[in-house]
Amino acid sequence: MSNALPYNQPSYVQPLSQVPTMPRAMPHNPMRKWTQISKVTLIVACAFLLLFLIMVVSHHAANPVAILAAVFGGCGLLFGIIGLFSYGKQAATIDEMFKQAGNGDGMFTGGNLLAHWTYSPQEWSQFVQSETARNRSGNLAVLCILGLVFLFIIVRALLAARSGGGAIVLLISLVIFGGIMLFVWWFSNAEMRNLKARTTGEAYISPTGLLLNDRYYPWNAAGIRLKSVSYEQGNPNALLFKYQQWGAQNVGGTAIPTRYEKSVRVPVPMGREAEAQNLITRFPG
């Protein structure tokens, strides 16, 4: 008697990592979000610089509010220009890769596909809990840095209050920096919100990129370079992809292009540990 399953046998009796998936829509291009942020930064910076010019022309002098507008506007303008060119080029490169592939699955087929993993709800829940605990210390560090910058701005604003107009400077500083803090906090937790919104997950790994659910991480786009891949033991085990990406860094009040090192973890399904360790040899570093 044949041991084959009946045609209408439910698919859940198969190992989850072997269940085929339906053709997917195009994955999310993360560089598009950064491009939009750069555009918004440019618009806000231009508004601050316009406010500075209006106040200087109308008062024939630069008061504390005008100086504050010039500082925020100048820094924002530099960050916005560098971000728009670097992230815009990366976004265009990724979009072209999507276009050539034809669909999301076309980017991870044949010899270009190294591994395709799916996760049970229990495995995904363990991964989310592990990432939440790991990011908690990072978020605390971000809050400490923002707190120090906030303290510096408050001290400068209080010193400016002695020369007149300090109350307005203090109020504007609090509003602007409060908005920046909220944005940084929201953005730093964006990836975790995306992970927690799902009850299971799926990963495609190739020599040219990684697709984790709907998030695509390219290794051959302009300004992005894969640095290393390592195996991390934990609960669950994971592959750690470290990559470098061009961005802007504030040095002495000037935004200069620089490479930022980032990382993304991919959980290893139960029973796929040997496959994961063999994958490391397929990548540089």
Report the alpha-carbon distance of residue 99 to residue 96 in Å, rounded: 5
* Backbone dihedral angles phi then psi of residue 53, each to the nearest 5 degrees: -65, -40
Which residue from 214, 242, 216 is spatially nearest to 31, judged by alpha carbons?
Answer: 216
Report the alpha-carbon distance of residue 77 to residue 82 in Å, rounded: 9
Domain boundaries, the chain: 123-198
Spell out the per-residue pLDDT of the chain, length 285, in tens.
444 444 343 333 334 344 344 445 556 676 777 788 888 888 988 988 888 888 888 876 666 677 777 877 887 888 788 778 877 777 777 777 667 655 555 556 666 788 989 999 999 999 999 888 887 766 677 677 777 777 776 676 666 656 555 566 666 666 777 777 777 677 667 777 778 888 888 898 988 888 888 777 888 776 788 999 999 998 899 999 998 877 655 555 555 667 778 889 999 999 999 999 999 998 876
pTM: 0.59
